[in-house]
Amino acid sequence: MIEELLLQVVKAGAYYVALVILMRAAGKRLAGQTTTFDLIVLITLGVVLQTSALQKGSWNALTFVITVFLFHRGLAAVCARSTAIRHLVRGRPRVLVRDGRIIDSALVAEGISQAELLAGLRKLGHDSPQQVKLATLEETGHISAVANA
């Protein structure tokens, strides 16, 4: 029984690492600017990974949940203390608009369309990029903006 639970811990840890890699590969957009399709894809990938990692039995399920929870809490604690690890896991903030000009290469790098950027700016109360001194896609996936003076 102990060996089976230890195997479940290893599989749950691998599952969590795979999810972190998938989230990182998907980019910051998935965290803050999720479309319905993005969400469906992420949930499907998570379910498929979980199905392959979770062994049968209530104790295995409990072990899986506790292990994933502890891995997540541990990674959150490490990210809170280490900027380098946080940037590795979450990415770095990226400037999207500077002095009213959209940085097209940043949009391409982050997988954001101009329409999505404009919608994000409108949500923040800016009718156009020309009203914005600086707009950044934060590591959380949300757009922040500072208006021109």
Which domains does the chain show, CATH number per domain?
Answer: 2-90 (no CATH), 94-147 (3.30.240.20)
pTM, whole model, 2 decimals?
0.74
Q: Cα(43)–Cα(10) distance, rounded to whole angstroms?
A: 22
DSSP string spanning 60-86?
Answer: HHHHHHHHHHHHHHHHHHHHHH-HHHH
Q: What is the pLDDT of residues 74-105, one digit of tens each?
A: 999 999 999 999 988 888 999 999 999 999 99
Reply yes or no on whether the pLDDT at 27 is more than 60: yes
Q: What is the pLDDT of residues 52-62, one digit of tens each?
A: 888 898 999 99
